[in-house]
Amino acid sequence: MLPVYLAIGGLVAGLVLFGRGVLAYTRAQRIAGLTSSAIASIAAGEVRVSGVVEPDAALLVSPLQSQRCVWYRARVEESSGRTRTVVFAETRAVGFRVKDASGTIRVFPRDASFTARDDLHGADGHDGGGPAGLHLNTGPTLVGVTEDDREAQIAELLTVRGAGAAGGVAPLGQPAGSRTYAEARIAPGDAVTVIGWAVPFGTLGDPAAADSSAAADAAIPPDDPALVADLAEARAAGTLADSPEEAWGNAAIPGFGIGRPVRPPELDPGVPAAPIDDAERASRAALAARVERRFEIGDDELVLAAGDGMPLAVYDGEPAAATGREQDRFLLGLAGAILAIACAMGLAYLARGGTIP
């Protein structure tokens, strides 16, 4: 019976590899079938854009290596005897920009597919500790981006941690067996190839929901009964403000909460305004310009986003590298097809009464 089980297992594995190979071939054809467009001159429609990732309003912190990124895919599996269990599996993305020599374009990652190599792939060591490079994130998953973000990342890299930070079983629970860890990321500074549809920002139905790929980040639907009832009640009572400025006053000014408002606040008569020298005024004006560039997107500005019948794909690396990896996966799929055929022939031979010595 053992040869039968082996043949069935080989047949299933071969078919899985072949299926993945067919998908890889399709992706390779799609990448190679388009020519990269300069971001500054793209038109609405399907495009291929290649450039370097830049952060936008926020970054993610990866769960297994605590690295800042715009997308990650993390998975932890545990083996105990013949049982294999997925302890942790998560994929997330936030909006980012792609920059080439001509300009930048905003990418909204909702429903996008990401393809990237693993940055971490390893198993527990003999001493029970995790693989080299494992540093479980015990802090927030989503962090804001500031002008000092580069300095913060440098400080993070230079921080010396104890052995417990690398082993860190607590966030994933106490292990009941050996574990394997895998994490892939796309981070600021990485080269990427994006294939999708350039559309005017104003056509996005829900930009907030389109700015993240995690279901947990989805906004409350606008037709949610409780939300509709609350809004109707607020309008009837006259307590619903028409703008953040009307609702929060000076607190709606960016930088107000840290004592550096980007524009002068509105003060009650008789309240003396704090003096601001010319250098400080110029600094705040520059900050206001950066805030506007980052958060204000015109309705006619083209962005990359997925939609009905409009797929969006992000590949790690430049077009040639991305195509090469997909072609390698296709060749592996062909090997899987050969394995499946051989196993099918073996099963047919055994079914006719043949034996394998």
Domain match, 43 and 163 both: yes
Q: Name the domain boundary from 276, 293, 310.
A: 293
pLDDT digit string (tens) for 193-228? 998 889 898 888 776 667 777 644 444 555 567 767
Digit-coded pLDDT (tens) for 232-245: 787 788 777 777 66
Answer yes or no: do 246 and 266 share one domain: yes
State the total domains in the chain. Answer: 2
Do 326 and 248 share a structural domain?
A: no
Rounded to the nearest 10 degrees, what angle do helices 319-351 and 2-32 cross at? 150
pLDDT tens figures, 179-189: 899 999 999 99
Same domain, yes or no, for 135 and 284?
A: no
Domain of 66 in residue numbering reads as 2-219+298-350
120 and 184 in a common domain: yes
Cα 33 to chain centroid distance, Å, stands at: 25
Distance (Å, rounded) from C-alpha 217 to C-alpha 208? 9
98: exposed, middle or buried (Cβ count in 10 Å: 0-12, 13-18, 19+): buried
User: What is the residue-averaged pLDDT of the chain?
Assistant: 77
- Are the C-beta atoms of residues 177 and 79 closer than 8 Å to each other? yes
Query: Could you tell me the pLDDT band of residue 155, with boundaries at 50, 70 and 90?
Result: low
Closest CA to 150 of 59, 257, 286: 59
In a domain, 357, yes or no: no
CA 145, 62, 184, 135 torsion: positive or negative?
positive
Regarding whether 231 and 102 lie in a shared domain, the answer is no
Average pLDDT over residues 111-133: 82
Distances (CA, A) of 86 to 75, 124, 213: 7, 15, 21
Residue 355 forms part of a structural domain? no
Within-domain flag for 233 = yes
Residue 114 contacts residue 186 (beta carbons within 8 Å): yes
Domain boundary among 293, 313, 328: 293
In a domain, 66, yes or no: yes
Do 10 and 102 share a domain, yes or no? yes
Residue 79 pLDDT > 80: yes
State the DSSP H helix or E strand holding residue 283, giving kind and residue range, or none if neither: helix 278-295
Distance CA 62, CA 242 (A): 38
- Residue bearing the bigger pLDDT, 97 or 215: 97
Instruction: Provide the 3-class DSSP secondary structure of residue 99.
Output: strand
**Residue 261: inside a domain:** yes
| pLDDT tens figures, 344-354 | 888 887 777 76
**What percentage of residues in the chain have a pLDDT greater than 70?**
73
Check whether residue 178 and residue 56 sit in a common domain. Answer: yes
Give the confidence band of 127 by pLDDT, cuts at 50, 70, 90.
low
Confidence grade of residue 255 (pLDDT, cut at 50, 70, 90) = low
CB 329, CB 24: distance < 8 Å: yes
In a domain, 181, yes or no: yes
Is 251 a domain residue? yes
**Does residue 104 share a domain with residue 41?**
yes
Does residue 154 surpass a pLDDT of 60? no
Q: Is there a domain that residue 305 lies in?
A: yes
Q: At which of 258, 274, 293 does a domain end? A: 293
Residues 192 and 26: their CA atoms lie apart, in Å, by 18
pLDDT in tens, 4-61: 777 788 888 888 888 878 877 777 777 776 777 899 888 888 888 999 999 887 889 9
Q: Do 317 and 258 share a domain, yes or no?
A: no
The whole-number pLDDT of residue 219 equals 45
pLDDT surpasses 90 at 105: yes
* 161 plus 246 within the same structural domain: no
**Same domain for 285 and 341:** no
